Amino acid sequence: QVIKCKAAILWEANKPFSIEEVEVAPPKAHEVRIKIMATGICRSDDHVVTGGLVMPFPIILGHEAAGVVESVGEGVTSIKPGDKVIPLFVPQCGECNTCLSTKGNLCSKNDLSSGAGLMPDGTTRFTCKGKAIHHFIGTSTFTEYTVVHESAVAKIDSAAPLEKVCLIGCGFSTGYGAAVQTAKVEPGSTCAVFGLGGVGLSVVMGCKAAGASRIIAVDINTDKFAKAKELGATDCVNPKDFKKPIHEVLIEMTTHGVDYSFEVIGRTETMAAALACCQYNYGVSVIVGVPPAAQKITFDPMLLFTGRTWKGSVFGGWKSKDSVPKLVADYMKKKFVLDPLITHTLPFTKINEGFDLLRTGK
| Per annotation, catalytic residue among 42, 107, 207, 236 | 42
Closest CA to 262 of 329, 311, 296, 314: 311
Each residue's pLDDT tens digit, 100-138: 999 999 999 999 888 899 999 999 999 999 999 999 999
Q: Are strands 235-237 and 260-263 parallel, antiparallel or unpaired?
A: unpaired
Q: Are strands 284-287 and 309-312 parallel, antiparallel or unpaired?
A: parallel
Average confidence (pLDDT) over 249-274: 97
Each residue's pLDDT tens digit, 287-326: 999 988 888 999 999 999 999 999 999 999 999 999 999 9
| Per annotation, catalytic residue among 99, 107, 170, 278 | 170
Q: Is the pTM of this model over 0.95?
A: yes
Whether 163 has a pLDDT exceeding 90, the answer reads yes
- Please count the other Cβ atoms lying within 10 Å of the Cβ belonging to residue 11: 15
Each residue's pLDDT tens digit, 200-229: 999 999 999 999 999 999 999 999 999 999
Indicate if 99 belongs to the active site. no
Indicate if 191 belongs to the active site. no
pLDDT grade for 187, boundaries at 50, 70 and 90: very high
Indicate if 42 belongs to the active site. yes
Indicate if 47 belongs to the active site. yes
Indicate if 261 belongs to the active site. no
Contact by Cβ (8 Å): 145, 24: yes
pLDDT recorded at residue 292: 86
| Per annotation, catalytic residue among 44, 140, 189, 323 | 44
Q: Which domains does the chain have, with CATH numbers?
A: 3-171+317-360 (3.90.180.10), 183-312 (3.40.50.720)
| Per annotation, catalytic residue among 30, 63, 108, 202 | 63
